[in-house]
Structure 1
Amino acid sequence: MTDPTQDPHFLQDPYPAYAALRSTCPVQPVPAGSGGRPSYLVTGYAEAREALGDARLSKDTAVFFAGKGSRRRLHPAVAHTMLASDPPRHTRLRKLVTKAFTTGAVTQLRPFIARVADELLDRWPGGGPFDFMAGLAVPLPVIVICELLGVPRADRSDVRRWSAQLFAAGEPDVIDTASHAVADYMTHLIATKRRDPGSSLLDRLVAARDGDGHLREEELVSLAVLLLVAGHETTTNALGNALLALLQHPTELDRLRKDPDGIPAALDELLRFDSAVSTATFRFTTETVTLGGTDIPAGVPVLVALGAANRDPARFPAPDRLDLNRGAAAHLAFGHGIHRCLGAPLARAEMEIALRTVLARFPGIRLAVPAERLDWRRTRLVRGLTSLPVLA
């Protein structure tokens, strides 16, 4: 299989390729490019959901890569995050940050999110072209997560640049360098907060580390890096994908324009229709696992294609049609099981407020260029636009 990130047709619309793979077999081997053992790709919904919840599929990358002699220079704080761990370590780390992302905690952030969205859109008087990605979809989640973690305003553009570089498919040196930059930055920020404590989430994590010793220093840095990067990447891509889907389906867009209170319910279908995460983060089998009738040997990676699963007609009839009346709450855009996206309530709030604000202030919003001319990020993990030029 060739690298899909080098195929402009796949980047523009991966779903026909996913459908072809799924129709052949919902779980199938993907040949290794360097003569190693193949990975297995999961494209069916039922199989993806099962894989995401199967404890025999480990996420502990430290165990998988031990002794394999990788030439990579990825910083340990990026390579071994909470996402790359299994219980009980994963359970312990997740418990430390869960309260910050509950529905109640996010409700308290909503006025701040709305204020930031308005301030960002104030820079677009309407009429002329506006890049929705650069103007709103990127800065809004960055500002919110940085505010939550206590990252100074002056540092936020660096944070966004390093985060984007971490997803640079086919550029391992760029990824490795960015991993050290963001980890070194968070190490410095943690030291600053020890000298001058505040009330941010990161301050509370520092206090937990220094208080009861249940959080090791390297785990503190890793958790800070994960929250910083994951706290905005998914939302940025989901926002761009959602608005593009609506602009390409004017009937559905008009429905939300007339009834903005329907936006929260519409989010599930928008998330399903064009998932911001194409492929779930790394997993590997700890023993032979039978999935979708396919026997997967022990010790091989399993790639769960969330975007493909969310377009499986066996679960979502007519999956290539955007239907805001569809009951799509079972989508896998945020994953499933113990690793389901911790920040899902925050992402949903940011999406709802952003879309509500845009449609209220610019009811005539439309694409400024044909959809086929839009540029997509060249990365295997996430699906998102580099820019989204619009007019009002």
Structure 2
Amino acid sequence: MTVTENEFSGQPGEAAAPPPGCPMHGLVPGYPFGEPVTTELHPKYAEIREQAALTRVNMQYGGEAWLATRHADVKTVLADRRFSREATVGKDVPRVRKAVEELNIVSMDDPEHGRLRKLVAKAFTVRRVEQMRPRAQEIADELLDKMLASGNTGDLAAQYAWMLPITVICEMLDVPLEDHYKFRAWIDTWLTLGDEHTLEEMNEARFEKLPEYMSSLIAKRRAQPGDDLLSALVAARDEQDKLSEEELITMSIALLATGHHTTANQLANHLYILLSRREEWQKLVDRPELLNTAIEELLRVTPLSPYSENTRIATEDLELGGQLVKAGEAVMIFPAVGNRDPRVFDNPEDLDLTREHNPHIAFGHGIHHCLGAPLARLELQVALGTLLRRLPEVELAVPAEDVPWKTDNVVRGVAGLPVRW
């Protein structure tokens, strides 16, 4: 039996059940379990993780799915090719977003995913990214100089944390930085859950505004190619026939979106965590050699998304965590929950900036392991390191509970970070 959105759709924090007589009839918790609160995880996750490896949940759209919450099972779902992302494209599968999945590098399976990934992988190797450190440092210093020149208060998210990754990816793609207000608004609309924007607005941003903007940039690269990443993709399309025009546009949009959206939000979130726990900030001020270890711990404890997303469909009957998952069933994962699994991490709910054994999966695992992970780490190192060195006295200008948070977005993040120094 296929349960569609119209037939069976729960709301956040509510329990919903299929109609009597349905084979799935019975109490199934509605998902999400509740509204997100700062960077904390709903206590229901820890509860169900200890009860069973997989839990049946009723997603907000598309019906029921299995939710994997243990570290080992999340890694399996990420790496095992029998869990397909591509099988969700254009389908009314269980999910938290109003919009259905579209075809892009994030939703592709191999071999197509690997083909596109190879086209940009060289730009994100640890060695190539490390060569960008001096420029990233210049950007961080320029942003901080501008903040300091404006007085003794500011918005550490809008003026610093968001701008550094945006500037870096704009330079990599040779995208005009002055356009960032436009494409950020379109990307934010595209990546909403669907409560504050209509499906029409989301589709317009993704399938009209962003492609039109990117097509205009691609046309300029064709006329005047450079040594930037976008020019390299255009050459791969025109000279080497390695991707279609549609793939070129889609890949460029994905790079622009993921190149700044995730790191910008995570950096601001990490600053919120450290500044709302002043003793942790001071620990890094006093011991700057802990910076890299601290970043890995911040990545572990900070949820990138407010809820589980990126549905996968089992392509055959298989066992996961001792549970039979049948072909065609949906499986959801939330790496942030796996990152707090006591089977893997000692005192997993504690923030330990000295934690050395830290096999977190904040960047994913398997073929969809984040391509930009080396760049994200570099940006986090530069941004945090610069603040610790140049502005150790910075503090929140409002109580931590008054810091505003974004809503209706697939990426969790503060809406602003008011500080003083």
Under a length normalisation based on structure 1, what TM-score does the superposition of the two structures give? 0.91
The offset of 1:124, in angstroms, is 2.0
Of the candidates 213, 222, 234, which is equivalent to residue 206 of structure 1?
Answer: 234
**C-alpha RMSD over aligned residues:** 2.5
- Answering whether residue 51 of structure 2 is matched by residue 24 of structure 1, we say yes
Matched, 1:84 2:107: yes
Deviations 1:78-105 (A, max 9, x none): 9211111111111111111001001111
Residue by residue over 1:34-84, the C-alpha shift from the partner in whole angstroms, topping out at 9 and shown as x without a partner, is 6x541221211111111111110111156662999xxx888xxx9211111
Pair 1:56 & 2:82 matched: yes
- Cα drift, residue 174 of structure 1: 3.0
Aligned match of 1:139: 163
How far is the alpha carbon of 1:261 from its aligned partner? Answer: 3.2
Q: May I ask how many residue pairs the two structures share in their alignment?
A: 385
- Deviation by residue 1:279-314 (Cα, 9 ceiling, x = unmatched): 353322112232222222222332211111111122
Structure scoring higher RCO (CA < 8 A, sep ≥ 6) equals 1
Q: Which amino acid aligns with 2:296?
A: D
State the Cα distance separating 1:199 from its structure 2 match. 1.2
Alignment CA distance shift 1:230-1:239 (3 Å):
same
State the 1:332 CA deviation: 0.7
Deviation at 1:328, TM superposition (A): 4.6
- The letter for the 1-side match of 2:417 is L
Aligned to 2:189: 165
Residue 251 of structure 1: CA displacement? 3.2
Which of 364, 369, 391 is residue 335 of structure 1 equivalent to? Answer: 364
Task: Pick the aligned partner of 1:193 from 216, 221, 231.
Answer: 221
SS in 2 for 1:156: helix
1:352-371 to 2 correspondences below 5 Å: 352-371=381-400
Other-structure match for 2:179: 155
Question: What SS is found at the alignment partner of 1:65?
Answer: coil
SS at match of 2:233: helix
Larger Rg: 2
| Whole-angstrom CA distance in 1 between matches of 2:155 and 2:139 | 17
Which range moved further: 285-294 or 223-232? 285-294
Q: Which amino acid aligns with 1:213?
A: D
Tell me: CA distance 1:202–1:120, structure 2 relative to 1, closer, same or farther (3 Å).
Answer: same
User: What's the CA shift for 1:15?
Assistant: 4.0
User: In the TM superposition, what is the alpha-carbon distance from 1:175 to its structure 2 partner?
Assistant: 2.0
Question: How many angstroms apart in 2 are the aligned matches of 1:228 and 1:336?
Answer: 22
What residue in structure 1 maps to residue 289 of structure 2? Answer: 261
Say if 1:189 and 1:6 are closer, same or farther in 2 by CA, change over 3 A: farther
Q: 1:6 to 1:325 in 2, by over 3 A?
A: closer
Q: Distance in 2 between matches of 1:12 and 1:352?
A: 20
Shift in alpha-carbon separation, 1:295–1:379, aligned structure 2, 3 A = farther
2:336 counterpart of 1:281: no
Q: Does the CA-based 8 Å contact 1:280-1:306 persist in structure 2? A: no
Q: Which moved more, 1:57-66 or 1:224-233?
A: 57-66
Question: Pick from 355, 362, 372: which aligns with 2:401?
Answer: 372
Report deviation, 1:128.
Answer: 3.5
Query: 5+ residue gaps in structure 2?
Result: 1-9, 14-31
The 8 Å contact of residues 277 and 333 in structure 1, kept in 2 or not, is answered as no
**Pairwise mapping of residues 208-357 of structure 1 onto structure 2 (< 5 A)?**
208-278=236-306, 279=308, 281-357=310-386
1:13 matched to 2:44? The reply is no
Distance 2:302 2:54 in 1: 21
| 8 Å Cα contact 2:293/2:355 also seen in 1 | no
Higher helix share: 1
- Equivalent residue of 1:169, what SS? coil
Matches within 5 A, 1:115-130: 115-125=138-148, 128-130=152-154
- Among 71, 78, 87, the alignment partner of 1:45 is 71
Tell me the SS of whatever aligns to 2:324: strand
TM-score, L = length of structure 2: 0.85
Summarize the Cα distance change of 1:158–1:141 in structure 2 as closer, same or farther, 3 Å threshold: same
Q: Which runs of 5+ in 1 are unaligned?
A: none
Does structure 1 retain, via aligned residues, the 8 Å contact 2:39–2:302? no
1:121 counterpart SS class: helix
Q: Which residue of 1 aligns with 2:11?
A: 2
Q: 1:62–1:282: structure 2 CA closer, same or farther, 3 Å change rule?
A: closer
Please give the secondary structure, in 2, of the residue aligned with 1:281.
Answer: strand
Q: Determine if contact 2:88/2:312 at 8 Å carries over to the other structure.
A: no
| 3-state SS in 1 of match to 2:401 | helix
Identity %: 39
